[in-house]
Structure 1
Amino acid sequence: MAKGTIRYWAAAKDAAGVAEESFEAETLAELMANVTLGRDELARVAGRSSFLVDGDPVGRRAHGAVVLAEGATVEVLPPFAGG
């Protein structure tokens, strides 16, 4: 299980109540399940967000297929503007 840092931006930061926190997870799917447990607003925002893992866009890849390395940094990027 990898340990790393998750960083929240804009609405995700507001929903999480913190700018960043530590995590332990093997995949992006596991990480998001862990950090959104009991945090309904964060789950809502994360559901429409984009993600970077160590600076690389996740894109449309299944989150269960995105394996996290030790020391990874995951960034949660909600839509910044409409239209």
Structure 2
Amino acid sequence: MAAGTIRYWAAAKAAAGTAEEPYAAETLAEALAAVRERHPGELVRVLRRCSFLVDGDPVGARGHETVRLAEGGTVEVLPPFAGG
């Protein structure tokens, strides 16, 4: 099982009540399941609209169960935002 950091931005940060927290998971799907369990409520709703970067690479449309997490890695949780 890999250990790393999940970083929350904007609305995800507000809903989680923290800027970052550790993960212990093999895949993005496992890490997000643990997040949903720790933060039921608003963060679960926000995550439905988020995009994700894993170690700087966009996840895009890949299935979260296929995205492997690395030891010491970083998952960025990015809600949609407006701007130019």
TM-score scaled to structure 1, two decimals? 0.94
1:50-69 counterparts in 2 under 5 A? Answer: 50-69=51-70
The yes-or-no answer on 1:13 pairing with 2:42 is: no
The yes-or-no answer on 1:35 pairing with 2:35 is: yes
Secondary structure of the corresponding residue to residue 74 of structure 1:
strand
Q: What residue is the counterpart of 1:73 in the other structure?
A: 74
| In structure 2, C-alpha distance between the alignment counterparts of 1:70 and 1:48, rounded to whole Å | 26
Identity over aligned residues, as a percent? 71
TM-score scaled to structure 2, two decimals? 0.93
| In structure 2, C-alpha distance between the alignment counterparts of 1:65 and 1:40, rounded to whole Å | 26
How many residues matched? 82
The yes-or-no answer on 1:48 pairing with 2:46 is: no
Which structure 2 residue ranges, 5 or more long, are not aligned? none
